Homo-oligomer: A and B are copies of this chain.
Amino acid sequence: MQKPFIAAALAAFALPVPLAAQTGTDTRVAELRDAALDDEYAWAITEAITTELGPRLAGTPEEARARKWAVETLTKMDFKNVRDEPFPLRTWVRGVEKGAVVGDHSQPLALTALGNSGATPADGIEGEIVYYPSIADLEAEADGALKGRIAFVSHAMTRTQDGSQYGAYGLVRRTGPALAAKKGASAILIRSVGTDSHRMPHAGGTNFPEGTDPIPAAALAIPDAEQLERLVERGQPVRVRLTLTPRVLGTRNSGNVIAEVPGSDPSAGIVVVACHLDSWDLGTGAIDDASGCGIVAAAAKHMMDAGQPRRTIRVLWAGSEEVGVFGGRAYFEAHKGDNHVLAAESDFGADRIWRLDTRFAPQNQPLADRLAAALSPLGIAASRQPASGGADVSALIANGVAGIDLQQDGTRYFDLHHTPDDTLDKVDPAQLRQNVAAWTAMLAVVANAPEAISATK
């Protein structure tokens, strides 16, 4: 059948209660799913992480405080084998950050340093702006051409439900600074990789290859980027003064917090459900990713309280995701010998889940169909896109573990992503509960599935 998920979706929507028997969804799965719509755990966890812990930049004392809280909280929730698995991290921290147009149109600019940005001298640098509408325009510039000047690179990212434009337009942040360094620029300003219209710069990491000295690199809030474009359009040279004093502190500790619901059948393997506990430092990391930690822990808790599942459910609250997925890599190195059968991550906010993507071997199609049927009453339809796995489980997926993506609505995600505005008030409790219900239903299907689970090879 070409589109099994559509048939399942239509069937489920058309049917009266009880859904379970008629759609092939186990009554117990349906009951767990529907009970999870009243979940309180995810909100309590999200509220506590954002309120009591605040920003949690990787490698800092604030991230360490969060891990300590996480171990205490997951232990109190009765999870087993709760532990903090530390790993070393080269730790970058923000310093002073100030920018301003100088000259006839002098005015301050709202900006923030990108992760791994180089520093200016304490009293800043000044330079003429050279404007590039896109990363491709900067790329086309001759090497060394920007000597003594400041690159300013824009982009045209728009809102999408699946958030997929982050891949293409995110290049301006990920590779723009190294490219500008190669062209000889003394610094780079980018239009924040985001879709809002607030004076909120979007932080995020960038990378300088081995052998390239990091140049100062900052994201302008979107209104400020548009302001600078308008000034450039006037045709006169535009000069900017920039002070950024981030530092690399050296090696510090980060860590992954792990908790388990032990399964009854050790040979059936482990299902990993992940999020990341670290956040960028400008906001309190509510949608990125306190809510993800709330969602996966709440779903695992509902499973635990319903009786022992067949498979072990392992909750992974990863560290240092934002600065380069170091927690995910450390987890993979420490646990690649474990018998993982499935991995999934919640790391795209807390708006409602609308799409199910899977990465299963062909013989697991019946499992995919049961998942689709269980999720369908929540307004979630299966897609034909293969699951990519979240950042922290991507090494598992790349190494042959089956994966599931419960895709959240990302329409407003990049309004808030990595900004000071990523705070608790942006989390909608009703949509958060829909997430928990979906994750609970997913776990109820996969953790108790009688068949073996394996990935597309």
Contact = CB atoms under 8 A, between A and B. Distances in A.
A44 to B, nearest CB: 12
A39 interface: no
Nearest to A197: B425
Given A54-B105, A231-B51, A426 B197 contact: yes
Interface residues of A, number: 35
Number of copies: 2
A108 B51 CA distance: 12
Interface in A85-121: 101, 104-108, 110
Interface stretch (A4-12, A222-230, A399-407): A222-230
Nearest to A226: B425
A423 B223 contact: yes
A325 to B, nearest CB: 25
A16 to B, nearest CB: 39
A336 interface: no
A103 to B, nearest CB: 11
A52 interface: yes
Contact of A423 (B52, B106, B199): B199
A424 interface: yes
B197 A198 contact: no
B55 A107 contact: yes
A226 B227 CA distance: 31
Nearest to A100: B54
Contact of A421 (B52, B55, B199, B283): B199
Contacts of A424: 223, 226-227, 230
A431 to B, nearest CB: 16
Interface in A248-288: 283-284
A424 B52 CA distance: 36
A283 B223 CA distance: 10
B231 A420 contact: no
Nearest to A101: B54
A53 interface: yes
Interface of A: 47, 50-55, 62, 101, 104-108, 110, 197-200, 222-223, 226-227, 230-231, 234, 283-284, 419-421, 423-426
Ranked nearest first, the 4 interchain pairs of A and B with the lowest CB-CB distance are A54-B107, A199-B420, A223-B423, A51-B230
Given A62-B107, A110-B420, 7 more contacts: A51-B227, A51-B231, A52-B234, A54-B105, A54-B106, A223-B424, A226-B425
